[in-house]
Amino acid sequence: MASIASSSTQNGTAAQPARYALAEAILGKEAFLQTNTAKILVVGAGGIGCELLKNLVLTGFGNIEIIDLDTIDLSNLNRQFLFQKQHIKKPKSIVAKQTASSFNPLVNIVAHHANIKEPRFGVSYFQGFDLVLNALDNLDARRWVNKMCVASGVPLLESGTTGFRGQVQPIRPGLTECYDCQPKETPKTFPVCTIRSTPSTPIHCIVWAKSWLFTQLFGADDETEEDELDKAVADGEDAQEIDSLRKEAREMRDIRAALVEAAKQGDQQRVRSVVERIFNKVYKNDIERLLGMEEMWTHRPVKPVPLVFQDAVNGVSAAGSENAQPEGAPAIQADAGPSADAATKSQPPQNASTLKDQRTLSLQDNVELFLSSTSALAVRAAADLSNPLSFDKDDDDALDFVTCTSNLRSIVYHIDRKTRFQVKQMAGNIIPAIASTNAIIAGMLVLQALHILSGKWDKTRFITLTRGSDRYISGFPPAQPNPKCGVCQDVYIPIEVSSLTEVTLADVVDRVAKEALGMDEEDLVVYDGARILADPDFEDNLEKSLTEMGLQQGSILTITDEDQRLQAVNVVISVGGTESGEKIKIAAKDVKKPQPRYVESKADEDDSDDDDIVAEVAEADVPAKATAAASVASKTVAGTKRSRPDEEGSPDQTTLQSSSAVTPDKKQKLQQDGANADSAIVFD
């Protein structure tokens, strides 16, 4: 390869170098030229991004910009093949450029180690490209790029993988479905009471073990706990229940002090007795207290059954048979609650798997693991009080602790137990990223890109990779836009202002909405994202300058009529020299006026509630819905309902709060990722 590279460099531009001969023969002269001269933006240099960049440079794409804000981590190296061990901690985009350039030195690659949401990558930046390819791992950035492409009218290829599943979606703004035309599941916080009092799935127990119990005993003093409980009351969760949770928390602080003290003294016997006290508190006393709140159980068919340490240590539970269940078996369903005489002696697990991590642990196993892991963690915590522990799925003691404590809770609540391996996946929110899936998707992206660049939109396909059906790879023509979409059914007006400090909000409203769009009869509301800047009853801001309103290059102002009868108008601001001396210049050839908003007919209304949307999503066999992850994250629907344009699903607080070690890089990523940096749904 090196010899080809050097000979073609020496040849300069004289002839299409030998390396392009095949590409030219396959694509045809014209299509090859389009490919070679097109300007391509690749967003993301991770799992798909690395494969994609390699494909692009080898196919003959000549002008590529790549952007990623991440740095390389050891765990990337099993699939992000542009990176090697010596690149760890270096920016992904920069190293990806270096490695890919060595495959084909004729390619011009510009790399940005940056966040795509920075103002400098505004609509005018996007307009400089013929095609944008998304290789992102989070919903928030995907939705952002989708919106920028819609606003700038640039075609987008959206992609994602989850395990063996994957997809490629071609998006032609205004003519095909955009990324936000279909609702997306967003991870959601679990209500406090579900985690703390009424779990019903394994993930509830794992979140409890990892985010609550672990933190209570070994983590940083959780000052947010009281706030969280206050907020839960404000949110309408059961006040009496929250009150007793506060009491529980206080007891827990006492126990923690005793545990640390015993571990400091190195008194094994005392440590064991405190660990026993913890066991009886969380699996017996707290459960008995909950059972005393009768109204809590009136609508729940199955009540929890307390575990007593002395019985549990002998493998005896009042919850009925606790034989290891076969993989995926439903939880034990005790119709009328458990009866005391159902107590049974534990038997060895039926699961024949001998791998320690993949075996469902018996009650006794879990109790033993509880004793050993809690003691080990207590000793570590006591050794350095200034350095509280935080959960790390790769820390064996921590993972043992979360495995056994969540399983014991599952036994109490008649929920499926999970193996250590499963707990690791769920607690670490890992859906395995698979190199070959990324490779297939990256290949599909290039095929679709070739169709788009040669103008053959009729040949583009929405590609899905699914397992369990006859075809692993399927393709469908892209669908029509959803008339209810809150992104691509809006109007976008790019403007150039002479100065951000001189032009006022009123100038923009008058020039764009009233003059250009004829909305002078309407009562107007002006938003910056979800923030209302002005409405008919609040005009104080109108005379302020754009700078004073916190707007900058690339900001998008949204203007709607008060009744939201018309499509929303998004004014995309850039700063430019307006030669004519105008303060504001409309930078679009034709101005599309807002049309009456799509109104649902009666028939539509009948099936427009959220439940139905979720049901449709579940039935549609599209990987983006990440049904594999649905058991991990509860669902909300975002996208079609027009709330405010930038409204996002909230991050999984239960998970986030436990991670005390947030590096600046991670923090920046969390800010970019918004919805799911640390959530269950991972597209890589």
CA triple 147-153-156, angle to 5 deg:
65
Nearer to Zn ion, 178 or 433 (CB): 178
Sign for the CA dihedral angle at 594, 600, 601, 602 comes to: negative
The answer to whether 642 and 484 are in contact (CB under 8 A) is yes
Residue 79 or residue 597: which is nearer to Zn ion going by CB?
A: 597
Which stretches does DSSP call E strand in 517-609? 524-528, 531-534, 556-561, 569-575, 584-586
| Cβ proximity to Zn ion, 79 vs 184, nearer residue | 184
Q: How many residues does the chain have?
A: 684
- Least distance (Å) between residue 179 CB and Zn ion: 7
Residue 140 is labelled as binding a ligand: yes
Burial (CB count <10 Å: 0-12, 13-18, 19+), residue 291: middle
Of 296, 320, 329, the C-alpha closest to 416 is: 329
* Interaction mask 430-469, Zn ion, x per CB under 5 A: ----------------------------------------
Residue 491 in contact with Zn ion, rule: CB under 5 A: no
Binding range to Zn ion, per CB under 5 A, among 130-138, 234-242, 425-433, 482-490: 482-490
Would residue 415 be called left, alpha or beta, if left means φ above 0 and alpha means ψ between -120 and 50 degrees?
beta
Among 23, 40, 139, 181, binds Zn ion (CB under 5 A): 181
Q: Which of 56, 136, 307, 485 binds Zn ion (CB under 5 A)?
A: 485
Tell me the C-alpha distance between 438 and 445, whole Å. Answer: 10
Q: Which is nearer to Zn ion, 181 or 378 (CB)?
A: 181
Cβ 639 to Zn ion shortest distance, Å: 8
| By CB under 5 A, residue 488 contacts Zn ion | yes
DSSP-assigned beta bridge partners for residue 566: 596
Which span sits near Zn ion by CB under 5 A: 126-134, 228-236, 481-489, 626-634? 481-489
Q: Does 151 bind Zn ion (CB under 5 A)?
A: no
Known catalytic residues are 193
> Is residue 92 annotated as involved in ligand binding?
yes
Stretch that binds Zn ion, among 78-86, 412-420, 483-491, 517-525 (CB under 5 A): 483-491
Is residue 137 a known part of a binding site? yes
Residue 408 binding Zn ion, by CB under 5 A: no
- Alpha-carbon span 207 to 567, nearest angstrom: 42
C-alpha torsion angle, residues 585, 587, 591, 595 (rounded to 10): -90
Q: Under the criterion CB under 5 A, does residue 260 sit at the interface with Zn ion? A: no
Helix (H) or strand (E) holding 68: strand 63-68
Q: Which of 48, 141, 178, 508 is the binder for Zn ion (CB under 5 A)?
A: 178
3-state secondary structure of 34: helix
Shortest distance, position 177 Cβ to Zn ion, whole Å: 6
171 near Zn ion, judged by CB under 5 A: no
Say how far apart CA 560 and CA 490 lie, in whole Å: 10
The number of residues that bind Zn ion (CB under 5 A) is 6
> Known binder of ligand: residue 550?
no
The piece of 180-188, 221-229, 307-315, 649-657 that touches Zn ion (CB under 5 A) is 180-188
If binding is defined by CB under 5 A, does position 148 make contact with Zn ion?
A: no
- Token pair 């034709």 is found at 590
Closest CA to 71 of 476, 663, 678: 663
| Among 95-103, 172-180, 226-234, 253-261, the segment contacting Zn ion (CB under 5 A) | 172-180
Burial profile 258-290: b = 16 or more Cβ within 10 angstroms, e = fewer: ebbebbeeeeeeebeebbbbbbbbbbbebbeeb
Question: Which residues are part of a known binding site?
Answer: 44-49, 68, 76-79, 92, 137-142, 178, 181, 485, 488
Question: Which residues are part of a known binding site for Zn(2+)?
Answer: 178, 181, 485, 488
The residues of the shown chain that bind Zn ion, judged by CB under 5 A, are: 178, 180-181, 485, 487-488
Question: Which residues are part of a known binding site for ATP?
Answer: 44-49, 68, 76-79, 92, 137-142
